[in-house]
Amino acid sequence: MSNSKLSASQKALIAQLQADIVKGLPGVSAQNKLSPVKFTGKYRTAPENHKKACVMGLIYPEGSELHMAFIERTFSHPDDKHGGQISFPGGKLEEEDDSYLIGALREVEEEIGIPSDQITVIGQLTELYVFASNFLVYPFLGYMDQTPKFIPQVEEVASIVSFPIEKLLQADIIDTKDLQVRDFLMKDVPYYKLNEHILWGATAMITSEIVELIRMAKTTISI
């Protein structure tokens, strides 16, 4: 993999993303476009006994394109309800984490080996409750100035999926299918086609908000 750096136009896009997030997020309406269940309220109401998690959508240059990092989770933990799925790097908020952002940055370093001082935070996204595992997820968006050197945590990460952002913006990247999830068949689940991988569920919903933000930013800077 070549060590690329951000171009002037890519820097302009990221700067616009930062400005747009300050103004306001696309939020629930953008997330719900990729909701796997009809009753999207399931993703909005966390019970009092919920756990907290933090994730990071990480943008960086690879070749001449901007990419975003996803991870394929291992099946190493029998109680992990998301084993084998595609997700953002992230995990449970720990007691020593002083903030959700610190938790997200810590998890990125643990799972894919990127130190926090190499990441610039673009902003915080809309939180999302994952009812299957009882986690309220706090997502962040960040970027790196150059191509990262990933060091996957083998116990947690089966592979790293580096995917071009431009492909995420294409209409035909989204499809639907029936998914067997443990002992339950979910019908007509929307998902992103990440080559041979299927990105669905809460991570797809967060990705949908990021995609909407990128579309907005690209429209603005092209004026």
Q: Measured on CA atoms in the order 85, 89, 93, 94, is the torsion positive or negative?
A: positive
Supply the pTM of this predicted model: 0.94
pLDDT for 185 equals 87
The domain 8-164+200-215 having CATH identifier 3.30.750.24: the answer here is: no
Per the rule left: phi > 0, alpha: psi between -120 and 50, beta: everything else, 63 is: left
CA distance 125 to 82: 21
Structural contact between residues 17 and 214, judged by C-beta atoms closer than 8 angstroms: yes
Query: Which of 192, 179, 170, 178 has its CA nearest to residue 57?
Result: 192
Domain-wise residue ranges, the chain: 8-164+200-215
pLDDT for 34 equals 96
Q: Retrieve residue 197's tokens.
A: 């991988």
Phi, psi of 208 (to 5 degrees): -60, -40
| Stretches in the chain below the pLDDT threshold 70 | 1-2, 76-83, 223
Q: DSSP secondary-structure letter at 38?
A: S
Reported as a single tens digit per residue, the pLDDT across 162-187 is: 999 999 999 999 999 998 877 778 89
